[in-house]
Amino acid sequence: MPTAAGSGLPPVFTLADLERWSMKGVFLGVIGHPIGHSISPPMHNAALAAMAEEETDFGNWEYHRFDIKADQLGPALDKMHSLGFRGLNLTIPHKVEAVALLTEIDPAAEQMGAVNTLLWQPQGYKGFNTDGYGLEQALLLGLDVKIENET
């Protein structure tokens, strides 16, 4: 498995790493391309550690980064599902392309035509989109929101 020696961040995994995945535990992850800049794992793993203090079942949960190219998304999701990855976050370029690869889509995500959060279900992943909700809450809180084009 890859390492992130000296970076201060956890490793970035690839489809090749998923093909030989041997880690034990309950896994979550963020998928993008590129993804090396993401600080999601330290944030989510800190939250999981805090949750484990109250509920020990979370003690073996881990959140990882996956650099997956657009043409690898289908195989990566299939492999992650078979490995039991409980939840995934998607970023560019996968939010729109993933819709066609899911077994179920939340109605709000379907209206948006994009997903950013996937939940493991026995038959396949269910997709959600939390982007609109997050923007709405920020506006309701009166935060100064600057929207940038992700492409």
Written as one letter, the residue type at 16 is A
CA atoms within 13 A on the CB side of 43: 6
Please give the residue that has the higher pLDDT: either 91 or 151: 91
The answer, yes or no, to whether residue 3 has pLDDT greater than 50, is: no
Tally of residues, the chain:
151
The pTM assigned to this predicted structure is: 0.86
pLDDT (tens digit per residue) in 40-97 = 999 999 999 999 999 999 999 999 999 999 999 999 999 999 999 999 999 989 999 9
Catalytic residue among 24, 69, 79, 95: 95
- Find the DSSP H helices in 7-39: 15-19
* Coil/strand/helix, residue 54: helix
pLDDT at 2: 54
Residue 64 tokens read as: 């990882």
pLDDT category at 8 given cuts 50, 70, 90 is low
* Coil/strand/helix, residue 130: coil
Q: Known catalytic residue: 95? A: yes
pLDDT (tens digit per residue) in 95-146 = 999 999 999 999 999 999 999 999 999 999 999 999 877 776 778 888 787 7
Instruction: Please return the burial class of 38, using the count of CB atoms within 10 Å of its CB with bins 0-12, 13-18 and 19+.
Output: buried
46-80 as b/e: b if 16+ CB within 10 A:
eebeeeeeeeeeeeebbbbbbbbeeebbeebbebb
pLDDT at 140: 81
